[in-house]
Amino acid sequence: MRDSLFGSRSSDSVLGVLLLVLVASTSSCNIAQHVTQQFNEATAAVERFHQRLDSEQYAAIYLDTDDTFRKATSEKEFTQLLSAIHRKLGPTQSKQSAGWNVTTTSTTVVYRTKFAEGEATEQFRWRMDNGKAWLVYYNINSNALIVK
């Protein structure tokens, strides 16, 4: 039996395993980088959302929605919702991450948000497209929003 260029067949097996480990670790780095990048883009989009909500720039928020969102909700309906949130809860005071999920095409983030007049749990789902976050889904749950 002839030995290979690298020595024996057993060393070929070791080389194959090392190559597999190298490929797997490179893929893991790429996945971690992808998750981090999408998470950062989503959190920046939430920050922009709240800044615009606080300054009553509802049309600007609607411009950052995905086509799917626009098919489900008109600008007028969404503006009415955002206006009610701002009127009843007031400006954003702080927010704390309550969970997140990143897929290949979207990022969902959940926040416990403190507004001047009450607290809420907000869920955002963003579709990521070349470094741009498009709002696909928004949900707010707040007792203060309902009773005021």
| pLDDT tens column, 76-134 | 999 999 999 999 999 999 999 999 999 888 999 999 999 999 999 999 999 999 889 99
Residue 75 lies in a domain: yes
Cβ distance 124 to 138 under 8 Å?
yes
Residues 6+ apart with CB under 8 A from 44: 133
Residue 67 lies in a domain: yes
Residue 2 lies in a domain: no
**Domains identified in the chain, total number:** 1
Indicate the pLDDT class of residue 20, thresholds 50, 70 and 90.
very low
Residue 51 lies in a domain: yes
pTM: 0.79
- Average pLDDT score over the chain: 85
The yes-or-no verdict on residue 23 having pLDDT over 80 is no
Residue 57 lies in a domain: yes
Assign residue 33 the CATH number of its domain: 3.10.450.100
Residue 4 lies in a domain: no
Alpha helices in 73-121 (DSSP H): 75-89
Residue 44 lies in a domain: yes
The yes-or-no verdict on residue 16 having pLDDT over 60 is no
pLDDT tens, 31-45?
788 788 889 999 999
Residue 79 lies in a domain: yes
- The pLDDT of residue 29: 57
Q: Which residue range forms the structural domain that includes residue 112?
A: 9-147
Mean pLDDT of 141-147: 92
Residues 6+ apart with CB under 8 A from 97: 43, 109, 110, 111
